[in-house]
Amino acid sequence: MSCIHSCNLWVKITAIHVQKFRVFALSINMERQIEIKECNNKDRKSIIALLRSENLPVEDLPADLHDFFIALDEDSVAGVVGLEKYGNCGLLRSLVVDKNYRSEKIGAKLVNQLEERAKALGVSSLYLFTETASDYFAKKGYVKIKREELPADVRKSSEFSHVCPTSAIVMQKYIG
């Protein structure tokens, strides 16, 4: 085979690889457009279904979900998080991201939105209970504390009194 034939063959093979790469690159750039927004009562059924899918409590969800946020992918609920306010303390609860949307930083966006709302409401410390996500929250600046260190106002929550097991890890973050 002469050099000219070899070069033409290489050019053809390279062109095929470039075309395949372009198709691959196009599929990567078609990212989902996730919108974080305040919950309303029409979202309630989807939120409950998502929480139940991850064995999170739903029986104590407040009637008004105005301090809850959802992540929407068009009409699909991809994630949820809620805030309960107790004096100048807040309880971060019900953070869940649908398994089909994990690794897309949706949880981080939801937590950031909740923290901003909490600051706007005058919350200086956020607390949470977790059985599975302490490493995740530690990366977000939350630290483990003992149950008895919880402020009296937060101890009035259903999460503290009967929803979360006493074995759940308690975490805190100062936000303002």
Domain segments of the chain as ranges: 1-30, 32-174
| Cβ atoms 65, 39 nearer than 8 A | yes
**Structure token digits, residue 168:** 């759940």
Phi, then psi, of 69 in degrees rounded to 5? -125, 145
- The pLDDT score that the predictor gives to residue 25 is 36
| Cβ atoms 111, 81 nearer than 8 A | yes
DSSP letter (8 states) at residue 41? G
- The pLDDT score that the predictor gives to residue 22 is 44
CA 118 to chain centre: 16
User: Pairing between strand 76-86 and 169-174?
Assistant: unpaired
Question: Which 3 state secondary structure label does DSSP give 169?
Answer: strand
- The pLDDT score that the predictor gives to residue 111 is 97
- The pLDDT score that the predictor gives to residue 104 is 92
**Structure token digits, residue 7:** 């070069």
- Amino acid identity of 133? A
pTM: 0.79
- The pLDDT score that the predictor gives to residue 165 is 83
**Structure token digits, residue 76:** 């699909």
Contacts for 89 with CB less than 8 Å, ≥ 6 apart: 123, 124, 125, 126, 127, 151, 153, 154
Contacts for 100 with CB less than 8 Å, ≥ 6 apart: 78
- The pLDDT score that the predictor gives to residue 176 is 86
What kind of architecture, by CATH, is found in domain 32-174? 3-Layer(aba) Sandwich (3.40)
Most distant pair of Cα atoms in the chain: their distance = 85
Q: Block means of pLDDT (10 residues each) for the chain, length 176 residues?
A: 43 43 40 88 92 91 92 93 96 95 94 97 96 95 96 90 86 96
- The pLDDT score that the predictor gives to residue 31 is 65
| Cβ atoms 123, 151 nearer than 8 A | no
CA 83 to chain centre: 13
